Amino acid sequence: MTEAAELPQAPEAARTVFGEFFPEAVRYAELLADVGVKRGLIGPREVPRLWERHLLNCAVLSEVVPEGVTVCDVGSGAGLPGIPLALVRPDLKITLLEPLLRRTTFLQEVVELLGLDHVTVVRGRAEEMLGKLPQVHVVTARAVAPLDRLAGWGVPLLRPYGEMLALKGDTAEEELQGARAALSKLGVVDTSVIQVGEGIVDPLSTVVRVEVGESPGGIRFAAKRAKANRVSRSRRRR
């Protein structure tokens, strides 16, 4: 059994970023380092770099999220980036969407413990949520899937003129180029790669922004694909 690594003290930048919610951010980091590791939500090797690589890396996403909007964090996992974003931005209404029960159980515990009244936890897959969840202004995601697949899940959840913000690494530009055909089918009208967190995280956090127009084509496209997938699974069970 791997011995749990010790959570380092929060850097000074965390006090600046989380402000009055810094104590809640510390508690969340402690939960990740303890319960999160024990339940297999994060690896023990991630504990020493929880603040810089995970919490702060996600919190700075707030720099590009408009004020007072609705957000769906797709494949939220252990709550990244949704929980740090919620701590920084109490003006947002955030849904943490995650298919695995052990993860949604953890997320619900965190939301209740930290008093995040503006956060809702929903168990389910993004491609199954069409018509079940209200469309949102912003979809967020981190380390969920390659951009073309991620867009197929996330874009249909957007309202007209909404945007998907995906935290990516060094391959962001390459992923974006490879996903252009898929994005076009989904009704995407503009894309960009931006960096956030200057003076807070090093390296900067890289975000792929995907924007849709007045009538996102992704809704019909994803509905057809979901139906085809259900038929395919049914046939395989036979």
**pLDDT tens, 112-132?**
999 999 999 999 999 999 889
Q: Which two tokens stand for residue 235?
A: 């046939």
Look at the block and give the residue holding tokens 């899940």: 153
Sequence ranges of the domains in the chain = 12-237
**pLDDT tens, 76-93?**
999 999 999 999 999 999
* Closest-CA residue to 81 (of 107, 113, 108, 59): 59
Question: Can you name the residues that pair with 238 across neighbouring β-strands?
Answer: none
Look at the block and give the residue holding tokens 């600046």: 16
Q: Which two tokens stand for residue 37?
A: 């590791």
**pLDDT tens, 142-197?**
988 899 999 999 999 999 999 999 999 888 999 999 999 999 999 999 999 999 99
Q: Using a CB cutoff of 8 Å and minimum separation of 24, what contacts does 32-39 make?
A: 32/78, 33/4, 33/5, 33/7, 34/4, 35/106, 35/109, 36/78, 36/106, 37/4, 38/4, 39/102, 39/106
HSE-CB for 114 with a 13 A CA cutoff = 29
233 has a pLDDT exceeding 90: no
Percent of the chain with pLDDT over 90: 82
Helix/strand/coil for 3: coil
**pLDDT tens, 22-69?**
999 999 999 999 999 999 999 999 999 999 999 999 999 999 999 999
Residues 130-144: b if buried by 16+ CB within 10 A, e if exposed: beebebbbbbbbbeb
Torsion sign over Cα 109, 80, 132, 124: negative
**Which CATH number fits the domain 12-237, given the four candidates 1.10.490.10, 3.40.50.150, 3.30.300.30, 1.10.150.530?**
3.40.50.150
Q: In what order do the strands lie in the sheet with 205-212?
A: 119-123, 93-98, 70-74, 136-142, 158-168, 205-212, 188-196
Look up the pTM and report it: 0.88
